[in-house]
Structure 1
Amino acid sequence: MNTKIQNDIKELVEAQVISNQVATNIENYYKSKKIDTPNRLFTVFAVLGSTLVGLGIILILAHNWDNFSRSIKTGFAFAPLIIGQFIVGYSILKNKSATWKEASGVFLFFAVGASMALISQIYNIPGNFSSYILIWVLLCAPLIYLLKSNALAILHIVFAINYACAFGYFDDNKTPWMYILLLAVLLPHYYQLLKQKPLHNITSIFNWLLPLSVIVVLGTFIDKSGEFGFLMYVILFGLLYNIGKLPFFDNQKLRRNGYLILGSLGTIYMLLLTSFEWLWQDILRHDIVFGTQEFYVSIALFLITLGVIVYSYSKKWIQNFNLFQYVFIIFTVIFFVGMSGNFISILLINLLILALGIIAIKIGADKFHFGILNYGLLIITALIVCRFFDTNMSFVVRGLLFVSVGVGFFFTNYMMLKRQKKTKIK
């Protein structure tokens, strides 16, 4: 049991706040809790060990591969798969610890991939990398629920990203619609984590990994009308931000809320990118074609994001106006207005970025959060830096702007610190 807890219990007994019997019951509770809790570090090393063993076996076999006959090669190809299935079955039937299940699951996952690759090589079965990854991930997906394995869930996401990128960017240059299925397969496991372990580190990892995977893969859904790609990403970041503002995520520590951070950073990045004149000139150079895949994907993302906002309003979760939550709507209007001329769009986007910076500063000041406060200042600084490269201002004016921003950083943080001290004194 934690020494601090023991000292606190002892202090409470001495102060006669609790009795000796209550103190004993508390100590027994924490001791039983510690026994039931799996050793996380041991689980991590067990998973890493299983991965290394599996890769080591593959390397040993690969070194002597040409010396074996086809029948022996086939036997070696199925051996890891059979061994992995036996260990997984033993873990399930004997209801072994989480460490056992995680390690055996990871071993079987790589055994499936190795067996598939070896059989394809032995019998010269044609195929490409993306289809190989897709079949591999789908075959191993049930293991996530049989073993309740977080390590397998993480591998599922990572290899789903590999499949989508290989299929969309390299092998076929087509839209990886099966990625949506792979993501849907994982959602029940993620929902259980959110429900049962909302504050655990593993849940926080998924809070970052899932939105990151969608951000990476969305580019593969851009086919012919690349101009709509900017709109798709702005709406996606708006969706992530609004998910992050749901009470379940918003009430957690900021570092656990990957949706909110990625949504906010992505929104600012896309707005800064579209604040340059050359980009709008490039967009206007091409005819915007409605009815394309990108257009329908944009509509779908827009409706989903709007649905999240409407649902939040119906539950009265949105009390104050936060411009970040509505940027996707404003940008959609600006995007279509920009088709008639780029000057209005550039001006509106610059004003929008400036407003977002000011709002972030206000949010940081209201919450006494130095991170959010300085984030708002950084947004304004980034806007000034961007205008540094595409305006004809003199170096004196540019220098004065940077000095002003530097003074603003110092003064704002100083005033914030002063207010915080006064609040603590009161």
Structure 2
Amino acid sequence: MSLIKDLNELVEANIISEDIAGKIQAYYTKKENSSPNKLFIAFGILGALLIGLGIILIIAHNWDSLSKITKSVISFVPLVVGQLICAFVILKKNTNKTWIEASSVFLFFAVGASISLISQIYNIPGNIASYTITWMLLCLPIVYLMKANTIALLYIIGSTFYACELGYWNYPNITPYNYWFLLLLILPSYYFLYKKNPKSNFLIFYNWLIPISLVISLGTVTNNYSEIMFAAYLSLFGIFYLIGNSIYFKEQNLRNNSFLVISSIGSIGMLLSLSFSWYWDNLLKIEFQFNHLKDFTEIIATTILSIGALILLLKNFNKQFIKNSILLEFVFILFILSFFYGLKYSFSVIFINLIIFAIGILTIKKGEQKNHFGILNFGLLIITALVICRFFDTDLSFVIRGLLFVCVGIGFFITNYWMLKKRKANEK
């Protein structure tokens, strides 16, 4: 039923006056006109990408037959055109989100193409990492000048690629410290979008890309003692978990609560890998020697992240917090204690297994209390994953292993059946 028809019925029933009905209609008409069409924005961005790629392909087909001067002029044409379009948008279309995003995307790739072409024409030395950071820094002003969120997302992806190029694919040559500087430069854009439009779809992409970028790039600080980085990662996941349980993210659907999803899966994944004896056996053999500044990078990263996680934990610490806890908030502390104990004794591996089991049980309990099948089954999956890990890590007979799987399967069936029966009873 249309809005106008509803308003006419309300007026005829003397529920609202014609004046109020007119104001309501005017409000929604204005809101509809000012709200950007999400599909149109997506197609605008895609169109800008296709146009840019088409121009590059046309030029590339005839590239070898052109003179150096002609090549140089052509290299700057997309850049100039992109800047002119963006200038037009700022002056005439500064409220049209489709124009803003599409023109910014075109200029973003024009900058990258121009840098690449000029470098190739004049044989300017460099590598993919220097090219990427130059491209990202040159395009950073577009984010704030045009208020273009698509460019911000592309910037995060480019910065992550830069960190991987130096930190992983050229390991152990260079630690990409500049990545953290690049990430800091984009955070104001993230904050401004959160304050201005907390329900924006672009903010959801931010919420996913930033933690994923951090998880990927954190490992690039590793130099000599990768064992220490387990504490850094669990502290990072602890920060994510506490952020994911904040008031803003609690109101989001689970698929939009990236911090909670990434932290839960990441923490459980790391704990499961630590539930094997290989890590603790290696830890007993390590002799830590810190002779150079680069030997301290893992300790510095771990210290910063652990302090940050501890501050957030203390800020949220109360009786209700403890009541709702499933231990994931405290995992980073428990692991740090296990780490120091594991430097001398191998008992820590048993402690880690107990922690995983406790998290699984508490998660099942939380799912039952909230009448939430997703949480309940996540807890059951944790227990199942632990059983599978021990299946490959113990000398138990196949009969006992088979019985363990049968018990877990029965547990899945019984808990879900009981939960479904409870839900139906509450609906009556």
Same topology, TM > 0.5: yes
- The alpha carbon displacement at 1:9 in A equals 5.6
Letter in 2 for 1:390: D
Pick closer, same or farther for the CA change 1:80–1:13 going to 2, 3 Å: same
Query: Could you report, residue by residue, the CA deviation over 1:224-277 in whole angstroms, capped at 9, with x for unpaired residues?
Result: 111112222111111111111221212322221100110011000000001001
Look up the match of 1:299. 303
- Unmatched runs of 5 consecutive residues or more in structure 1: none
Letter in 1 for 2:301: V
Look up the match of 1:233. 233
**2-side partners of 1:231 and 1:87: how far apart?**
48
**2-side partners of 1:360 and 1:9: how far apart?**
48
Superposed, 1:28-177 pairs within 5 Å as 28-96=26-94, 97-171=96-170, 173-177=173-177
- 268-277 vs 318-327, which moves further: 318-327
Whether the 8 Å contact between 2:44 and 2:102 is mirrored in structure 1 is: yes
Letter in 2 for 1:79: V
- Unmatched runs of 5 consecutive residues or more in structure 2: none
Aligned residues: 421
Query: Could you report, residue by residue, the CA deviation over 1:313-359 in whole angstroms, capped at 9, with x for unpaired residues?
Result: 49x984635111111100111111111122x1110000000011111
Look up the match of 1:415. 418
Letter in 1 for 2:269: Y
Letter in 1 for 2:305: L
Pick closer, same or farther for the CA change 1:20–1:317 going to 2, 3 Å: farther
Pick closer, same or farther for the CA change 1:397–1:177 going to 2, 3 Å: same
- The alpha carbon displacement at 1:11 in A equals 7.0
- The alpha carbon displacement at 1:63 in A equals 2.0
Pick closer, same or farther for the CA change 1:382–1:17 going to 2, 3 Å: farther
Pick closer, same or farther for the CA change 1:358–1:7 going to 2, 3 Å: farther
Pick closer, same or farther for the CA change 1:319–1:338 going to 2, 3 Å: closer
Pick closer, same or farther for the CA change 1:404–1:16 going to 2, 3 Å: farther
Query: Could you report, residue by residue, the CA deviation over 1:139-172 in whole angstroms, capped at 9, with x for unpaired residues?
Result: 1001111111111011011101111111112246
Letter in 2 for 1:203: L
Q: Normalized against structure 2, the TM-score is what?
A: 0.93
Question: Aligned-residue CA RMSD in angstroms?
Answer: 2.1
- The alpha carbon displacement at 1:391 in A equals 0.7
- 32-41 vs 379-388, which moves further: 32-41
**2-side partners of 1:122 and 1:252: how far apart?**
50
The answer to whether 1:217 aligns with 2:220 is: no
Superposed, 1:2-401 pairs within 5 Å as 3=1, 18-19=16-17, 21-96=19-94, 97-171=96-170, 173-289=173-289, 292-313=296-317, 318=321, 320-322=323-325, 323-342=327-346, 344-401=347-404
**2-side partners of 1:157 and 1:317: how far apart?**
36
Identity of aligned residues (%): 48
**2-side partners of 1:282 and 1:134: how far apart?**
37
Q: Normalized against structure 1, the TM-score is what?
A: 0.93
Whether the 8 Å contact between 1:225 and 1:292 is mirrored in structure 2 is: no
Pick closer, same or farther for the CA change 1:413–1:306 going to 2, 3 Å: same
**1-side partners of 2:8 and 2:421: how far apart?**
38
**1-side partners of 2:86 and 2:323: how far apart?**
51
Pick closer, same or farther for the CA change 1:5–1:277 going to 2, 3 Å: farther
- 164-173 vs 38-47, which moves further: 164-173
Letter in 2 for 1:143: I
Whether the 8 Å contact between 1:361 and 1:373 is mirrored in structure 2 is: yes
- The alpha carbon displacement at 1:201 in A equals 2.1
- The alpha carbon displacement at 1:28 in A equals 3.2
Q: Secondary structure at the match of 2:344?
A: coil
Letter in 1 for 2:410: V
- 23-32 vs 290-299, which moves further: 23-32
Q: Secondary structure at the match of 1:390?
A: coil
Pick closer, same or farther for the CA change 1:384–1:72 going to 2, 3 Å: same
**1-side partners of 2:56 and 2:320: how far apart?**
53
Pick closer, same or farther for the CA change 1:308–1:8 going to 2, 3 Å: farther
Whether the 8 Å contact between 1:129 and 1:171 is mirrored in structure 2 is: no
- The alpha carbon displacement at 1:32 in A equals 1.9
- 197-206 vs 322-331, which moves further: 197-206
**2-side partners of 1:232 and 1:82: how far apart?**
45
Whether the 8 Å contact between 2:283 and 2:342 is mirrored in structure 1 is: no
